[in-house]
Chains A and B, each alone.
Chain A
Amino acid sequence: MPARKTTGARRAGLIFGDLWEFDPAPETADPKLKARYDLFIGGKFVRPRSGKYFDSINPANEAKLAEIALAGPSDVDDAYRAAAKAFGPWARLPGAERGKYLFRIARLLQDRAREFAVAETMDGGKPIKESRDFDVPMAAAHFFYHAGWADKLEYVAPGGSVAPLGVVGQVIPWNFPLLMLAWKLAPALAMGNCVVLKPAETTSITALKLAELLQDAGLPPGVVNFVTGAGETGALVMGHPSAAKVAFTGSTEVGKAIMRQLAGTDRKMTMELGGKAANIVFDDAPIDQAVEGIVNGIFFNQGHVCCAGSRLLVHEPVAERVITRLKNRIRVLRVGDPLDKNTDLGAINSRAQLATIRRLVASGVREGATMFQPPCVLPKKGFYFPPTLFTGVTQSHRIAREEIFGPVLSVLTFRTVDEAIEKANNTPYGLSAGVWTDKGSRILRMSTELKAGVVWANTFNRFDPSSPFGGYKESGFGREGGRQGLLDYAKLA
């Protein structure tokens, strides 16, 4: 949906952005969706024992995309049984052979990248340019990276040896459905584990498309099993007595519930939970680059990012300049049809998430922060929310404390380095942080003091399979990516 032309007079300070109208540029590749998706257990698509299915819709227009099987307790049992049966032979397979399966998966995914990107965008609402240029290639990269580890595991734990754990239960969120799946599957499989994974209820389709691809790759049946459904199915996957380890990515609230659920067991866990990252801009920062980084930090994937830079801490001497430029930049963001190649912000993933964002934004207004939203016309159908900036935010405001998981940025200011550190760390979360400054020693000082698992200096929202990702404090524990993440899927001897 192209941004409506408005008069330049209302946009003082803006040089361009309203001079040309964009024509629609929809991506038209066929996502090759099926009308109905069954569970993927033991290498085959099987009907759920209950016979129940639920609808997966396109959040961009609320149209039904497909029916997804609802897995119940006996389906989850079946999946764990299939995985347990596959485990012995898979773990005994020479690492080089296991690795070759993963290399194959990476290649097959690259072959069908555009098709997967379109499916991802239709199912989840993210802009096609992100699923095309980020989610799908990065997912393939994760398989490719971990493939190469499978025959080099003796180098993973210095001074010790590693062995697979067994069957791993995994539950992933809806913000990066295929990428989170790759983050979970690739290291688990490279180490020789088998997997029972549950995708998020609103975004199951690319997992089930990947199941087709796993069949094409000839992956032995049962090594990977997908059970679909909502929270109840997730609890079954996390709580199953046959799981040797569980890995969860999602909200801190659910992560804590899983920790309680498993308190009576010695189950190994990896938790990748919420965040409320500070993005800190100093007065000597390259302001234009910083503004791009701030925009990328909070509006990437509509802000549905656990490590989103949702709290902007800006140095007082440059606060006005940064905020003015930020507003100008936000004015030219294009919100609308996720399949349009020029769209910057697509659809909010679900009606429920839209309600959460609206509730927290209303609290920001109520608590006295000043809201800025650019004039933009949102599509009539579907779930959309304009990019939103709050100034005059204090640390006690809910919008400065709670994870909004939407395109909403809270701006706070600071005067000294110590104050910036104090404010940045003043949160129970500790997933990521950003620092913008031209001073090298200050970058290293900030990086040392910030209690966060990932620090982006003069950049933001960068990811790589070789780069460990994960949180401090209530943002979870364990890492994903790199040698460090791989070790979390191993039994140490």
Chain B
Amino acid sequence: MTPTAKSRLPVTKTPKVYIGGAFVRSESSRTFKISGADGAFFANIPQCTRKDLRNAVEAAAKAGPGWARRTPYNRAQILYRLAEMIEARSGELVDSLVLFGARRPDAARGMSVAVDRLIHYAGWADKYEQLLGSVNPVASPHFNFTVTEPMGVVGVIAPDSPPLLGLISMIAPVIACGNTVVALASEKVPYPAILLGEMLATSDLPGGVVNILTGFRRELVPTFATHAHIRAIYASVAGDERKTLRLGAAESVKRVRFTDGRSEWFEASAQGLGAIRDFVELKTTWHPIGS
């Protein structure tokens, strides 16, 4: 677009990734070009490295204990606030999805579902404990109860389609129960995830609770697999990447949950207690009764 006397040259944004509550470029300064569906250059996206991933894990680990100690009511309100932020700016997210090839009605529906999904999990934050935990009737004079605890840092690898609804659907249950997240956005459509990062930053979510990287799966999946401080993986991957993640998970006995990439992300069946259950540990405490 050549400027003329009447028109104005738009100011384009430098996309940055959201790590530890800050917007940063890749430490390597590497980027990759993305173009809109019309083939026109759109922007350079950070091509994050293993080092960026490690930095993100560090940020997530640092944020972890504080986030886990928030009351469930507080976590619920923060998730709800995040939904408010996204609802208010959903037009911008829909535009970004359309720019990269989504049909507008699909993109609009996807954003509505994404906001509703956050609200769904906001409501879970102070309820799953009573369904997953228990008081256990042991046959000895002990008070015995089982409670859940977050696992810690969870690695999320988002699908390419739908890029944003998939990412939000995977992050929400994981943080609702007190984990922190290092996510890898869709490689094909990374820009909406960068916008999401900007909305996370203006929500009440503490920095470091959700960190979103952009880059190439083939470069980052092996590090997601082997990083010992990532305690669980939630990934929309298939075939060899699944195997890579499982092999890496074996080294530190990491928990893995996969979706098949064909998940019905738009359906209500894509949400619920099951995703939360897979990202909590169960702890059972015994104490004698008597004297």
Contacts of B88 in A (CB 8 A): none
How would residues 183 to 218 of chain B score, 1 for a CB under 8 Å from any chain A CB and 0 otherwise?
A: 000000000000000000000000000000000000
Contacts of B149 in A (CB 8 A): 448
Partner of B137, one of A428, A452, A466, A476: A466
A255 to B252, CA, bound (A): 11
Q: What count of chain A residues pass the 8 Å CB interface test?
A: 46
> Is the pair A455, B286 in contact by a Cβ cutoff of 8 Å?
yes
Q: Which of A48-71 contact B (CB under 8 A)?
A: none
Partner of B283, one of A160, A252, A447, A458: A447
Q: How far is the CB of B100 from chain A (nearest CB, A)?
A: 31
Partner of A256, one of B136, B231, B253, B283: B253
Partner of B138, one of A428, A467, A473: A467
Q: How far is the CB of B251 from chain A (nearest CB, A)?
A: 7
Partner of A260, one of B136, B146, B247, B286: B247
A273 to B283, CA, bound (A): 16
**Is B273 part of the binding interface, using a Cβ–Cβ cutoff of 8 Å?**
yes
A220 to B288, CA, bound (A): 41
Q: How far is the CB of B147 from chain A (nearest CB, A)?
A: 9
**Is A470 part of the binding interface, using a Cβ–Cβ cutoff of 8 Å?**
yes
**Is B287 part of the binding interface, using a Cβ–Cβ cutoff of 8 Å?**
yes
A439 to B253, CA, bound (A): 34
**Is B144 part of the binding interface, using a Cβ–Cβ cutoff of 8 Å?**
yes
Binds B, one of A11-19, A262-270, A378-386, A399-407: A262-270
Q: How far is the CB of B180 from chain A (nearest CB, A)?
A: 15
> Is the pair B243, A482 in contact by a Cβ cutoff of 8 Å?
no
Q: Do A443 and B287 form a contact, CB below 8 Å, given A259-B246, A262-B246, A462-B142?
A: yes
Contacts of A263 in B (CB 8 A): 243, 246-247, 250
A394 to B92, CA, bound (A): 57
> Is the pair A266, B258 in contact by a Cβ cutoff of 8 Å?
yes
How would residues 178 to 201 of chain A score, 1 for a CB under 8 Å from any chain B CB and 0 otherwise?
A: 000000000000000000000000
**Is B272 part of the binding interface, using a Cβ–Cβ cutoff of 8 Å?**
yes
Q: Do A468 and B146 form a contact, CB below 8 Å, given A141-B139, A473-B253?
A: yes
**Is B50 part of the binding interface, using a Cβ–Cβ cutoff of 8 Å?**
no
Closest to B258 in A: A266
How would residues 125 to 144 of chain B score, 1 for a CB under 8 Å from any chain A CB and 0 otherwise?
A: 00000011010111110101
> Is the pair A428, B252 in contact by a Cβ cutoff of 8 Å?
yes
Contacts of A469 in B (CB 8 A): 284
How would residues 24 to 64 of chain A score, 1 for a CB under 8 Å from any chain B CB and 0 otherwise?
A: 00000000000000000000000000000000000000000
Q: How far is the CB of A433 from chain B (nearest CB, A)?
A: 10
> Is the pair B138, A259 in contact by a Cβ cutoff of 8 Å?
no
Closest to A158 in B: B131
Q: How far is the CB of B245 from chain A (nearest CB, A)?
A: 8
Q: How far is the CB of A190 from chain B (nearest CB, A)?
A: 17
Contacts of A473 in B (CB 8 A): 231, 252-253
A475 to B282, CA, bound (A): 13
**Is A409 part of the binding interface, using a Cβ–Cβ cutoff of 8 Å?**
no
**Is A304 part of the binding interface, using a Cβ–Cβ cutoff of 8 Å?**
no
> Is the pair B282, A468 in contact by a Cβ cutoff of 8 Å?
yes
A377 to B225, CA, bound (A): 51
A279 to B142, CA, bound (A): 18
CB contacts between A and B, total, < 8 Å: 111
Closest to B132 in A: A484
Contacts of B284 in A (CB 8 A): 453-455, 467-469, 482
Contacts of A158 in B (CB 8 A): 131, 273
Q: How far is the CB of A450 from chain B (nearest CB, A)?
A: 8
> Is the pair B139, A464 in contact by a Cβ cutoff of 8 Å?
yes
How would residues 246 to 273 of chain B score, 1 for a CB under 8 Å from any chain A CB and 0 otherwise?
A: 1101111101001000000000000011
**Is B66 part of the binding interface, using a Cβ–Cβ cutoff of 8 Å?**
no
**Is B285 part of the binding interface, using a Cβ–Cβ cutoff of 8 Å?**
yes
Contacts of A260 in B (CB 8 A): 247, 250
A73 to B67, CA, bound (A): 50
**Is B27 part of the binding interface, using a Cβ–Cβ cutoff of 8 Å?**
no
**Is A285 part of the binding interface, using a Cβ–Cβ cutoff of 8 Å?**
no
- Residues of A at the B interface (CB closer than 8 Å) are 141, 158-160, 252, 255-257, 259-260, 262-264, 266, 271, 273, 428, 443, 447-448, 452-459, 462, 464, 466-470, 472-477, 479, 482-484, 492
- Residues of B at the A interface (CB closer than 8 Å) are 131-132, 134, 136-140, 142, 144, 146, 149, 231, 242-243, 246-247, 249-253, 255, 258, 272-274, 281-288
Query: A453-B282, A455-B284 are known contacts; what are 15 more A-B pairs with Cβ within 8 Å?
Result: A141-B139, A159-B273, A257-B250, A260-B250, A263-B246, A271-B253, A447-B285, A453-B283, A453-B284, A457-B285, A462-B142, A472-B283, A473-B231, A476-B253, A483-B134
